[in-house]
Amino acid sequence: MAGRPLGLGPAASPPKWWWWLFVVLLGAGLLAMPSLVDISVQLDVSIMLILALLALSMSFLWGYVGILSFGQTAFFGLGGYTYAVLALNLGETTGSMLAALVLPMLFAAVLGYFMIYGRISDIYLSVMTLVVTLILEKGIRATSGDQFVIGTVRLNGQNGIPSVPSLQIPWGGGAELFIDGVFYLAAVLLILVYVGLRLLLLTHFGRVLVSIRENERRTELLGYDSRRYKLAAFVIAGAIAGLSGALYAVWGNFVAPEMFNLSQAAQVIIWVIVGGKSTLIGPIAGTALIQYLTTWLGTQGVGQVTLVLGVVLMVFVLVFNQGLLPTVGLILAGLRNRMRAGTGR
Amino acid sequence: MEQVAIYAYQIGVSFSIFILISLGLAVIFGMMRVINLAQGEFLMLGAYACVLATQAGLSLWLSMFVAAAVVGLFGIVVERVIIRFLYGRIVDTLLATWGLSLFLVGGITTLFGPQSESVVNPLGNVTVGDIALSQYSLAMIAIAIALLIGTYCLWRFTRFGLIVRGTMQNPDMARGLGVNTDRVFMLTFGFGAALTGFAGAVLVPITGAAPPMGVFFIAKAFITVISGGHLPLIGTVSASAIFGAIDGFVAFVSSSVVGEMSVLFVAIILLRLLPMGITGHLRRGL
């Protein structure tokens, strides 16, 4: 057991009772929150929850399948734009939300097919996904002219699309979600995705994914077509990132090319690295922590937030390679072992 | 005839830009397998060094060498402080250099502000028939080719080049033969950084210098070197030729964004057809 962080065993083992307790408590805490805190805190926490979904999509791919996809922001932005364009065109939001899941999935399937079936090595895949999101950003930025219209919506280039409608409650006669509604939705979806991914990793499919991370060639020799599994995981992650992007559009009533850009992509990496990619809960915590830090730095008048984020990233890679939660878990495990050794004597 | 000249000129300029932005990366990533995401920021540092040197009264041509020296030294510092702990940990290198890239963008913005700095283009135009071509762009093509030939000769014909190639091929063997591989890694990284800094300075009269400029080049540089495959120089040249031709042509008939997107599209198709890169089937070479 030495070296295994306390409470953060491999996700492929079935969760213990206290994990379910933790999920229930987390859920209850989140659902009770809007009645306890004021609107500005609700807004801040909602965006943390929404971005945590994006972090989850990356840590699922990176921590469990071993694919480091920088370009999760490509699906994030695509989801946001899909929702914005369709919701503004149709005036109907449930279908737009679904489309904002499907389109990033299709895009992930096509892109993933070329990269994964081309068997380009993992590191090339990372760079290619990064390039894709940068090119998408450039493409969107170049659409400022009048001729770039989808349906009745101008894409607006640099300026993004304003006044994206909020989500309507289906069968609710056009009633829209307000700030607390978006909060509840984000909280429920985050917990669903978190639990869903955790359980997915227990299935046969999930075990094959983890074994691909451990040793792709051996998995193939055991008769699994690793490309199919990797592509499926890539598409799932694309859907989660797309969901996150659509929620982002709902939250801010706004989409902009910044959703695709390098600093957005960098932030996702930082959340996952700081939280610890070997867990699913770590990136959620990392997102909350870094979002809080960024907001706090903003209010402190430190001019360059990127400068600080850059230093954080370098320090974590060089010193705390495991990420925050696993490092804490390792320390706790060490303490526990020492205490056990003490009482055993 | 004039049409042909215009296309040749456009493609030549595109080609030289591809060579300039990816030659340093061909050394750092192609030879050393260090994924340096701060490569674009090295270009930016070169551009700023050049701007400062010209403002101090040096000529543009001298400033290019100053920029190369400054960024080369900076590269050596980066190698000592960050990269040398991360050899063989390819993903960690990528993340740490990304941190470095954010740090540099933030740092330069704090120091010089977010506005763009520029340098006066010292050369005029030359007319071919009734079209005016920028002399500086022609000079840039010449510089790119000269850098390429210089780098090739350095690796191919000098003792230093031989030691570097041997070290990259098999560091343990090189160490066994008495080569100080630690120093070779440091110098090679510094050389790659210097090439990048020089390229940044060459690009200044065309692009100017601004903190976020690195982002515009990093994507192109990486797809060029990756599509080139495992022979850094030959691969980079052939990929630059293909992408430069596509970019130059499409950007001329349509817009520069469409040009870039078509390059990306071709790169993805190319990687599907030739997963090992253009030079994947060549056994020997540089």
Residue among A67, A107, A110, A124 with most chain B CBs within 10 A, to mutate:
A124
What per-residue confidence (pLDDT) applies to A174?
63
Residues B158-179 have pLDDT tens digits of 999 999 988 988 889 999 998 8
- In angstroms, the CA B32 to CA A318 distance is 19
Residue B201 has pLDDT above 90, yes or no: yes
Nearest CA in chain A to B96: A314
Domain with B85, as residue range(s), is: 2-273
| Contact across the interface for A120 and B109, Cβ inside 8 Å | no
Residue A1 has pLDDT above 50, yes or no: no
| Candidates B107, B109, B264; nearest CB to A131 | B264
* Tokens matching residue B150: 């210089």
Confirm if B224 and B22 have CB atoms less than 8 A apart: yes
Give the Cα-Cα-Cα angle B200, B206, B212 (nearest 5 degrees).
Answer: 55
For a pLDDT cut of 90, what percent of chain B falls above it?
35
What per-residue confidence (pLDDT) applies to A4?
45
Lowest mean pLDDT among A300-304, B45-49, B166-170, B240-244: A300-304
Write down the domain spans for chain A.
41-261
CATH of the domain at B20: 1.10.3470
Residues A50-91 have pLDDT tens digits of 999 999 999 899 888 888 888 899 999 999 999 998 888 887
What per-residue confidence (pLDDT) applies to A57?
92
Q: Is residue B283 part of a domain?
A: no
Asked if B77 reaches chain A (Cβ–Cβ under 8 Å), the answer is: no
Q: Which residues of B touch A118 (CB under 8 A)?
A: 271-273, 275
Mean pLDDT for the stretch of residues B3-10: 83
| Contact across the interface for A311 and B99, Cβ inside 8 Å | yes
Residue A329 has pLDDT above 80, yes or no: no
Q: Which residues of A touch B254 (CB under 8 A)?
A: none
| Contact across the interface for B99 and A119, Cβ inside 8 Å | no
Q: How far is A339 from chain B (nearest CA, A)?
A: 34
| Contact across the interface for A310 and B264, Cβ inside 8 Å | no
Asked if ipTM goes beyond 0.90, one says no
Tell me the three state secondary structure of residue A149: strand
- Count Cβ atoms below 10 Å from residue B173 Cβ, excluding itself: 12
Confirm if A84 and A255 have CB atoms less than 8 A apart: yes
Confirm if A325 and A281 have CB atoms less than 8 A apart: yes
Predicted confidence band at A127 (pLDDT cuts at 50, 70, 90)? confident
Predicted confidence band at A303 (pLDDT cuts at 50, 70, 90)? low
Q: Is residue B238 part of a domain?
A: yes
Q: Is residue B194 part of a domain?
A: yes
Nearest Cα neighbor of B19 from B205, B167, B177, B236 is B236
Q: Which residues of A touch B255 (CB under 8 A)?
A: 142
Q: How far is A70 from chain B (nearest CA, A)?
A: 10
For chain A, give the mean pLDDT: 83
* Tokens matching residue B186: 């440091």
Residue A26 Cα to chain centre, angstroms: 18
Residues A185-218 have pLDDT tens digits of 889 999 999 999 988 988 899 889 988 888 888 9
| Contact across the interface for A269 and B85, Cβ inside 8 Å | no
In terms of Cβ atoms closer than 10 Å to its own Cβ (0-12, 13-18, 19+), residue A342 is exposed
| Contact across the interface for B99 and A312, Cβ inside 8 Å | yes
| Candidates B92, B103, B260; nearest CB to A135 | B260
Number of domains in chain B: 1
| Contact across the interface for A317 and B95, Cβ inside 8 Å | yes
| Contact across the interface for B103 and A138, Cβ inside 8 Å | no
Q: Is residue B282 part of a domain?
A: no
Q: Is residue B37 part of a domain?
A: yes
Mean pLDDT for the stretch of residues B144-170: 91
Q: How far is A51 from chain B (nearest CA, A)?
A: 20
Residues B221-267 have pLDDT tens digits of 888 888 888 888 888 889 999 998 898 888 888 877 788 888 888 88
Pick the residue with more confidence: A96 or A301?
A96
| Contact across the interface for B226 and A127, Cβ inside 8 Å | yes
Residues A149-166 have pLDDT tens digits of 777 777 877 788 887 888
- In angstroms, the CA B138 to CA B128 distance is 12
What per-residue confidence (pLDDT) applies to A12?
55
Asked if B275 reaches chain A (Cβ–Cβ under 8 Å), the answer is: yes
Q: Is residue B279 part of a domain?
A: no
Residue A293 has pLDDT above 70, yes or no: yes
What per-residue confidence (pLDDT) applies to A342?
65
| Candidates B82, B222, B261; nearest CB to A314 | B82
Confirm if B34 and B83 have CB atoms less than 8 A apart: yes
Residue type, B253: V
Nearest Cα neighbor of A279 from A2, A60, A30, A48 is A60
Nearest CA in chain A to B220: A131
Q: Is residue B281 part of a domain?
A: no
Residue among B78, B95, B264 with most chain A CBs within 10 A, to mutate:
B95
Asked if B255 reaches chain A (Cβ–Cβ under 8 Å), the answer is: yes
Residues B90-112 have pLDDT tens digits of 778 888 888 899 899 888 988 88
Q: How far is B230 from chain A (nearest CA, A)?
A: 12
- In angstroms, the CA B38 to CA B214 distance is 8
